[in-house]
Amino acid sequence: MSYPGGGETGGDVYGVTPLVTGDAVVLDLRPAGFATRAAAIAIDALVQLIGLAVLIVLVAWMSFGVDVAATSAVSLAGVILILVGYPTAFETISRGRSLGKMAMGLRVVGTDGSPERFRQALGRALAGFVEIWMFTGVIALITSMINRDGRRVGDFVAGTMVVEERTGRRRSEHIPMPQQLAGWAAHAELSGLADETAAAARQYVLRYQELAEHTRHEMGARLADQVAAQISPPPPPGTTPPYFLAAVLAERRRRHMDTAQRPRY
């Protein structure tokens, strides 16, 4: 594969068209089937119904001798926490997986393959409160059936989609060092590179072939600027973003492996 302004790369890692999940598992991007999505929603709904049942018991127990307004406030807060807070918290912490999705091997990702973020999880949960709970799932059912990727209204609101995680082909995460940058990388100061920035750079390098031409340039330049601001010295003049990012990631991995293999006394 040719990089913009560069030559051919070595190794299969740049020739794949994967999706990199929040756990750094490289997968093929395959939209989840309607049946598996419905099953995942059913599992999550069951969990939430159990939570609501527990809430009703607790509120009934608390209602003796307690002001009605206070009981109503607690009830409302509990319902919001269960119906909106549960999916938001779970999908944010697990980077796109609720209990139902874990059980069915599904994951929520951005439409560009990026890991789901808090605002996306919140958007899906708020929309789900309307399309799943208020309309008993009718709206979610219709939109999922007519959309080829099975996206419901919440996915359009949040810019997400649900993909099958178990069916993806796992590939090596190893990123080879561009030999022309090995000398520079060996002496670069990388301690200031944030894990989040490195993860974003890894996604870009591994998914380079999948990206549209304009996205390659724009995303590569943006990530290269972010990484360059956190390391030193800057790469040699004329180094393209893919090579620069690959060199940083390969050297960072090498140093981590060296540290892990050192004997401890």
pLDDT at position 182 is 93
Q: Percentage of the chain surpassing pLDDT 90?
A: 50
Query: Quick count: other Cβ atoms within 10 Å of Cβ 31?
Result: 16
Residues 31 and 158 in one domain: yes
Instruction: Kindly state whether residues 48 and 160 are assigned to the same domain.
Output: yes
Does residue 1 surpass a pLDDT of 60? no
Of the chain, the percentage scoring pLDDT greater than 70 comes to 83
Three-class DSSP labels, 113-181: CCECCHHHHHHHHHHHHHHHHHCCCHHHHHHHHHCCCCCCHHHHHHCEEEEECCCCCCCCCCCCCCHHH
- Parent domain of 148: 27-164
**Secondary structure string (H, E, C) spanning the chain:** CECCCCCECCCHHHCCCEEECCCCCEEECCECCHHHHHHHHHHHHHHHHHHHHHHHHHHHHHCCCCCHHHHHHHHHHHHHHHHHHHHHHHHHHCCCCCHHHHHHCEEEEECCCCECCHHHHHHHHHHHHHHHHHCCCHHHHHHHHHCCCCCCHHHHHHCEEEEECCCCCCCCCCCCCCHHHHHHHHCCECCCCCHHHHHHHHHHHHCHHHCCHHHHHHHHHHHHHHHHCCCECCCCCCCCHHHHHHHHHHHHHHHHHHHHHCCCC
Of 12 and 55, the structure prediction assigns the larger pLDDT to 55
Q: Is residue 3 part of a domain?
A: no
Mean pLDDT of the 7-15 span: 35
Of 164, 192, 219, the one marking the end of a domain is: 164
Task: Look at residue 247 and tell me whether its pLDDT is greater than 90.
Answer: yes
Q: Check whether residue 160 and residue 192 sit in a common domain.
A: no
pLDDT-based confidence at residue 166 (cuts at 50, 70, 90): low
- 7 occurs within a structural domain: no
Q: What is the CA radius of gyration of the chain?
A: 23
Residue 16 lies in a domain: no
pLDDT, residue 170, reads 44
On whether residue 20 sits in a domain, the answer given is no
pLDDT for 7 beyond 70:
no
User: In this structure, is residue 11 part of a structural domain?
Assistant: no
- Whether residues 124 and 236 share a domain: the answer is no
Does 224 lie in the same domain as 200?
Answer: yes
In a domain, 190, yes or no: yes
pLDDT at 4 over 70: no
**At which of 118, 141, 164 does a domain end?**
164
Q: Residue 33 pLDDT > 80, yes or no?
A: yes
Averaged pLDDT for residues 153-161 = 93
Residue 129 pLDDT more than 60? yes
Q: Does residue 21 lie in a domain region?
A: no
**Mean pLDDT on 69-84:** 90
Domain annotation covers residue 19: no
- 237 and 143 share one domain: no
Q: Are residues 71 and 52 in the same domain?
A: yes
- pLDDT at position 261 is 61
The arithmetic mean of pLDDT across residues 68-74, rounded, is 83
Do residue 152 and residue 176 come from a single domain? no
Residues 139 and 237 in one domain: no
Question: Residue 156 contacts by C-beta under 8 Å, 6 or more apart in sequence?
Answer: 143
Q: What is the token pair recorded at 226?
A: 């972010």
For residues 158 and 186, membership in a common domain is answered with no
* Residue 101, pLDDT above cutoff 50: yes
What is residue 21's predicted lDDT score, i.e. its pLDDT? 41
- CA–CA separation, 251 and 249 (whole Å): 5
Tokens 């890692």 sit at which residue? 13
What is the pLDDT, as a whole number, of residue 10?
35
Phi, psi at 233, each rounded to 5°:
-75, 175
Q: How far apart are the first and last CA of the chain?
A: 45
Which of 110, 134, 164 is at the close of a domain?
164
| Same-domain check for residues 149 and 187 | no
Least confident range from 3-17, 48-62, 81-95: namely: 3-17
Highest mean pLDDT among 52-66, 105-119, 224-238: 224-238
Q: What is the pLDDT of residue 50?
A: 96
Check residue 71 and give its pLDDT: 82
pLDDT value at residue 203:
86
Our count of domains for the chain comes to 2
Residue 237 and residue 180 share a domain:
yes
Per-residue pLDDT, averaged over 150-169, amounts to 82
Residue 222 is predicted with a pLDDT of: 93
- Note whether 59 and 78 are within 8 A (CB): yes
Mean per-residue pLDDT for 222-229?
A: 94
